[in-house]
Amino acid sequence: MIRSIPASTTFPVIMFAVGALLLGTGSAFAQAKKPEAKKEDAKTAPAALKPSAIDKINDWGVYAAGAGKTKACYVLAEPKERAPKTLKRDPGYVFITQRPGEGVRNEVSVVMGFDVKPDSTPKAEVGSTNFAMIAKGGNLWLKNAAQEGEFVAALRKSPRLIVKADSLRGNTTTDTYALAGVGAALDRATKECQ
């Protein structure tokens, strides 16, 4: 069943930027591994690639952008808790992307809302399992992309995701995401992007 998405949701505020990251330059993970890529590429994503809200299931928004081989679908959520509370930073998000035209399923990305210390060791905790992450600026990806399926399977079974990372100033931050509804949101995104 498709649920209506409230107009007041905060997700659309960042959707064009996320869409440019996902669609304007190809895989965000690939860009993190290719520092020679031009920064202008992400800014020049065509307006036609602007993501559309498809569904909202608990804290998880479902979005799609593009068409045909360029179509991408993803789920996205904001953290329920951020610690330490006294730090000022931009909003954070976790999103999981499907780009079937590129053979990409369950690409996990995290926007921290601040630049992560380059030599740090960010991690994601799902249940009793820890996943090492890599950082590029304020974005994180699983260090071992082969674990994305395992990561997503763990998300479906766990009540929360905890992401820990150190800022450039050395502050250790913890973002906690509620996972209720993530399985249904992922199923909806997969159906949308078959």
More confident residue, 33 or 139: 139
Amino acid at 162: I
**Whole-structure pTM value:** 0.77
Could you tell me if residue 6 is inside a domain? no
Could you tell me if residue 98 is inside a domain? yes
* Whether 107 contacts 90, CB under 8 Å: no
Could you tell me if residue 163 is inside a domain? yes
Q: Is the dihedral of CA 39, 23, 47, 5 positive or negative?
A: negative
Structure-token pair, residue 168 = 């450039």
CA distances from 133 to 66, 125, 128, 144 (A): 28, 10, 16, 8
Could you tell me if residue 2 is inside a domain? no
Could you tell me if residue 4 is inside a domain? no
- Mean per-residue pLDDT over the chain, rounded: 81
> Using 50, 70 and 90 to split pLDDT, how confident is the model at 49?
low
Assign residue 66 the CATH number of its domain.
2.60.40.1880
Question: CA 107, 26, 49 angle in degrees (round to 5)?
Answer: 100
Could you tell me if residue 58 is inside a domain? yes
Taking the C-alpha atoms of residue 102 and residue 79, their distance in angstroms, rounded to an integer, is 29
Taking the C-alpha atoms of residue 188 and residue 148, their distance in angstroms, rounded to an integer, is 18
Could you tell me if residue 7 is inside a domain? no
Residue 2 has pLDDT above 70, yes or no: no
Could you tell me if residue 1 is inside a domain? no
Instruction: Summarize pLDDT for 23-47 with one digit per residue, the tens.
Output: 333 333 333 333 333 333 333 334 4
* Residue numbers of the domain that contains 95: 12-192
pLDDT, residue 50, reads 84
**Overall domain count for the chain:** 1
The mean pLDDT of 122-141, rounded to a whole number, is 96
Strand order through the sheet with 129-136: 52-57, 60-65, 72-77, 93-99, 104-111, 139-142, 129-136, 123-126, 160-166, 172-178, 81-83
Q: Tell me how crowded residue 142 is: count the other CB atoms within 10 A of its CB.
A: 22
